[in-house]
Amino acid sequence: MNLKRAITVDDLTNFEVYSDPQLAPNGDGYAFVSTTVNADKEYESQLFYQDMKDEKIRQWTFTKGRNSHPRFSPDGTSVVFQSDRSGIPQIWRLPLGGGEAKQITTFKNGATNPAWSKDGNYIIFTASLEKDDCIHNQEEQTKEARQKEQEENNKQPKIISRLAYKSDAGGFLDEKKSQLILYNIETQQFTPLTTADADHTYQDISPNGSVLFAANLQEEADYELTNDLYTVNIYTKELTKITKEKGIYYEASFSPSGEKIACFGNDLTYASATLTELYLFDLVSGERKCLSEEWDFELGDAMIGDTRIGASEAGPIWSKDEQSIYFLGTDHGATGLYSVSVSSKLETLYKNNNHVFGFSYDMEQESFVVGISSPTEPCNYYSFKRGDEIGKLTNANATFLTEVELIEPEEIQFKAEDGWDIQGWLLRPYGFEKGKKYPFVLEIHGGPHAMYGQTFFHEMQVLAAKGYVVLYTNPRGSHGYGQEFVNACRHDYGGKDYLDVMNAVDYALENFPFIDEERLGVTGGSYGGFMTNWIVGHSNRFKAAVTQRSISNWLSFYGVSDIGYFFNKWEHGHDLLDDPEKLWEISPLKYAKNVETPLLILHGEQDFRCPIEQAEQLFVTLKHLKKEVEFVRFPGANHELSRSGDPKLRMERLNHICRWFEKYIR
């Protein structure tokens, strides 16, 4: 008999999500961000601080809206952070000795991602500026003025001359670019550090005042998909390019002395399926070294979930003696904390079949605070020191976890038709009873170069709570299993990746007799939506399907997606004009006549990654053929709907998924 209730769609408003742990300079405590969905079904993020000695948690911010990105001053007396409490993200400073937070910036388009110089005299942040904007007379608009300006802009024609003219995150792009700005604490003056016609991303600052940033400053940046590292000195404004080899470099950090830089990156050898490498740049000798050359796993956090709101540190982070670098790694359905020496010796510091989603490192005490999620624990922070057991610091979502039954997944391993090893997980339904038969839902992840694994996933738990057996796997193309595996679906969409997910269903039916083979459902988003569309065009095995933010036609995808003009070439080996017949062969739309499975199509109207015309084509074609199909459009939603979209729409989306499966397979 179950003592706890089943989780619901509405429980999205009943748990909190932690992110961005930041240890104080003295190591006595750490700040972090907690995000919830409030009573108005809007996101709210607040800053908290936990003392490591008494373990008490103190709330620092209380304003409605989103407060995030806390960064301690070097002397630990204040914290700078970003907040949209005034209506748009701006930079604020909070004195820790007492007193209210003070607003530092009033930039028209907002200001984000603050950081301190090592001497504590300056704050560096990012602001979106047009070429001729003056940073000395920036005034923040009222909400009404912003709305009026937006309405006027929407009435004007858009003149487009760039290849990359829109993005899923930013919408239609204008002339504004992300620039780095320096704020002098004493004089309260702003100084531009970058002005090039490109977006600049802050990385780190050295002891001598060199700001490290990433940017694509190529003359034809839309055609050269690179991301180089540069430094600009805050005193001399001297600009230096660090990277010389073609590639994409990011998450870079200076060693404590400022003489070396560690960063993630890759040379695109396998296009978007290239494993992330860890590079070391010696600024004295000019040498570049790849520390991860002999490894075969993905660096950073490639875990997919639907509740990881807010950024967290994944590395690389230097040790005080500059002999080690710390980072997260993705491997076989889990992420862990790793260390590598400057001589490339790899060491696993912590990995325990769960999701380490972020960490902070204290150089003086050589200790860590790590954020961990598991399928039955949305998030918590733990203390960790090399060689010691981890110690639990927080008890997040305690009431929620006391009341709600979360299902622990059962890991499965099976052989694909060609002998490749495939990993997955199965959730039994809430209130499971032996001898009963249950309907089944197969979940297929997006990417395709990402990973399902041992993290909390609201959608999966809701489906299990509704009485479904839920299966999710990592078919070839997924991260976590090495370079050959992640590259294996390129130029073969709908091939062996399709067989992998179908073989997974075969395995589940053979080994879990409580699954009713007459009541099978399938769903997935993005690439998972493509695969859902592909499945219903090639098999009548499933009695219901839900395709989300999907791809149906690779021919049109080339010209409408914000990444289509290079993604087709990267993933399929063909552009539109190279081999349109090949792109049509792997387009699910071609096989619409074969579809007999009732299909629900869910799509955001502002999705620029997989634009809604992909859903429109599929719906109209199937409806014209008098197939069983329904189309739900989500206004204002982009490709991130299921993960960080409007909470009200996220909940509506889940309700529609449950409704469709209830109708056809319950």
Residue positions annotated with a catalytic role: 526, 639
Phi, psi dihedral angles at 514 (to 5 degrees):
-80, -5
User: What is residue 85's DSSP assignment?
Assistant: T
Scanning 119-174, the segments in alpha helix (DSSP H) are 143-154
Q: Comparing C-alpha atoms, which of 103, 97, 164, 171 is closest to residue 139?
A: 103
- Residue 233 CA to residue 239 CA, distance in Å, equals 7
371 neighbors 384 (Cβ within 8 angstroms)? no
* Token code pair at residue 618: 């599929």
Instruction: Give the C-alpha separation, 141 to 150, whole Å.
Output: 12
* CA geometry: angle 187, 191, 193, nearest 5 deg: 145
Paired strand residues for 415:
421
Helix/strand/coil percentages in the chain, nearest 5? 20, 35, 45
Give the phi and the psi of residue 389 in degrees, each rounded to 5: -75, 150
Query: Among all chains, which residue has been given the structure tokens 């209380």?
Result: 62
Residues counted in the chain: 666
Q: Is residue 156 packed enough to be buried (19+ CB in 10 Å), middle (13-18) or exposed (0-12)?
A: exposed
Under 8 Å between Cβ of 76 and 96: yes
Are 292 and 340 in contact by the 8 Å Cβ rule? The answer is: yes
134: helix, coil or strand?
coil
- 451 and 445 in contact (C-beta within 8 Å)? yes
- CB 66: neighbour CB atoms within 10 A? 21
What is the rounded distance in angstroms from the CA atom of residue 172 to the CA atom of residue 152?
15
Tell me the C-alpha distance between 423 and 566, whole Å: 30
Classify burial at 169, counting beta carbons within 10 Å of its beta carbon; exposed 0-12, middle 13-18, buried 19 or more. Answer: exposed
Identify the residue whose tokens are 């490339």: 344
E-assigned strand segments in 168-296: 171-172, 177-184, 190-192, 201-205, 210-215, 228-233, 239-241, 248-254, 260-266, 277-282, 288-290
